[in-house]
Amino acid sequence: MAEGQFVAYYRVSTAEQGRSGLGLEAQREAVQRYLNGGGWELLGEFTEVETGKGSNALAKRPALNDALALAKRHKATLIIAKMDRLSRNVHFITGLLEAGVNFTAVDNPSANKLTVHILAAVAEAERDAISVRTKEALAAAKVRAGSNWAAKSNGRVLAVKHKAEALDRLKPLAADLLALKEQGMTVRAIAAELNSRGVLSPGGKPWQSGNVHRALQRLG
């Protein structure tokens, strides 16, 4: 059972969560469950919406400073729902411990100073690992996007080049092909006529309906 005086501190890390209440109610309920029963007094509740990043994280948390001041003034215990609601920075946690205010995390109420240091170190390592993985994923995504763009760009350049080369090869045959088409002959008939004349396709092979059709398309 909880005994003594407490000051509650709740924190969410984005303004969006602060407006929606996501996370805050869960923290408040966790603290109330922990304090349920026993002889305790809740001196105050402080709520913060802040990222908490950087070496001056404490300076960016006026609500936490007020909560610490109240707890220190009454020799009360600062109570939080989860350890990571204070910080995932070892230096930050060390500063709080040196401030002379006892605090309890509902998710690990039996933690002592050594345990708190270890938990903060693990949380900090996890935060850094997440940051590294995020940066690596973004870098990989940029590389993939660049490769895809380069492949598509090269493909377009090659397509234009191949089309130009195909037109060059067709130039000596263009007059015959267009003349036969003007006579109303089908692609099959044109192929047969050219083959009968011994005229080979640009690829050096006999004409067929397919390559006659493609040749006429290239010639417009």
In order of start, what are the domains of the chain with their CATH numbers?
3-128 (3.40.50.1390), 158-218 (no CATH)
Tell me if 35 sits within 8 A of 105, measured CB to CB. Answer: no
Backbone angles phi, psi at 50, to 5 degrees: -165, 150
**Could you tell me the pLDDT band of residue 49, with boundaries at 50, 70 and 90?**
confident
pLDDT digits (tens, 9 = 90+) for 86-95: 655 566 676 6
Q: Are strands 77-80 and 103-105 parallel, antiparallel or unpaired?
A: parallel
**Could you tell me the pLDDT band of residue 19, with boundaries at 50, 70 and 90?**
low
Percent of the chain with pLDDT over 90: 8
For residues 163 and 103, the model is more confident at 103
Q: What is the mean pLDDT of the chain?
A: 75
Average pLDDT over every residue of 78-89: 73
Per-residue confidence (pLDDT) for residue 51, from 0 to 100 = 59
Q: Is the pLDDT of residue 120 over 60?
A: yes
Q: Is the pLDDT of residue 159 over 60?
A: no
**Could you tell me the pLDDT band of residue 112, with boundaries at 50, 70 and 90?**
low
Q: Is the pLDDT of residue 184 over 80?
A: yes
Of the candidate ranges 33-37, 65-69, 112-116, the one whose mean pLDDT is the lowest: 112-116
Q: Is the pLDDT of residue 67 over 80?
A: yes
Burial class (CB in 10 A: 0-12, 13-18, 19+), 219: middle
Average pLDDT over every residue of 38-42: 83
Longest Cα–Cα distance in the chain: 110
DSSP summary character for residue 58: G
Q: Is the pLDDT of residue 187 over 70?
A: yes
Q: Which two tokens stand for residue 28?
A: 């408040």
Q: At what angle do helices 209-218 and 187-196 cross, to 10 degrees?
A: 100
